[in-house]
Amino acid sequence: MKQIKTAVVTGGAGGIGGEIIRTLTGEGWRVASIDCKYKEIKRSGAVAEFAGDIAEQADLEAFAEFVGAEFAEGVGLLVNNAMSSAGGILGGCSFDDFGRALRVGVVAPYYLTKLLLPVFKPGASVINIASTRAFMSQAGTESYSAAKGGISALTHALAASLAGRGIRVNAISPGWIENGTSAEHSPSDKAQHTGGRIGEPGDIARAVLFLADPRNGFINAQNIVIDGGMTKLMIYHNDHGWEYKPQNV
């Protein structure tokens, strides 16, 4: 089956989304992206940018029409990457704040996938960017963790529903990823990872390229964790330079 090298990426203005776009275009893909940080509709080379807020139904519907016009040959890949966080229960996260986080992180991926059903080609791939926060948390991350847990579950549900249309659905759960910053990391930061370093956006972008390849079509309904082994490494008090310091809650 010939690959349709047209992709839709949400949240493409920077960080992991921006790196996914650079990686795809470097491999000959054409990309349409939506982000609330874009100022206008703009086409530059292989990338078409659409200014919009995926938390808003009207913006998603307008973007889907835009994608249909851009890619008359159909869509081969959708990457649901965009996300926002509103903190948690002890930090002032309101009803509306929590609801928006879920609209961006769960509702929008569901609805955009639904809107694009008429233009997906057989063999198309949907990749949801989840997070290891779906399985582990820090205090104050309820909105983000709930959304990432939701998109993890949405992944296998969509895979079951869309299997008959030849559309694969998988998720990638990044761990600690530095989004293009020059942050300094201590030896104990690095030692929390069996891989010995902090993750980079390219680690996620290359996995997207791998999952999108139809030669890897036997991978379906999966959530692939890319975290340098952090969620598998047990660290106790005084291990790897880490010291437990209790805090008053």
Q: Is 144 a catalytic residue?
A: yes
User: Which residue in 65, 61, 79, 70 sits closest to 20, CA to CA?
Assistant: 79
Q: Where are the beta strands (DSSP E) in 84-226?
A: 120-129, 168-174, 223-226
Distances (CA, A) of 220 to 146, 168, 177: 23, 6, 24
d(CA 245, CA 162): 48
d(CA 144, CA 133): 8
Angle 65-27-2 from CA coordinates, rounded to 5°:
70
Give residues with Cβ within 8 angstroms of 114, minimum separation 6: none
User: Which residue in 137, 160, 135, 165 sits closest to 150, CA to CA?
Assistant: 135
d(CA 3, CA 215): 9
Q: Catalytic pick from 38, 110, 111, 144?
A: 144
Chain centroid to CA 95: 24
Q: Which residues are identified as catalytic?
A: 144
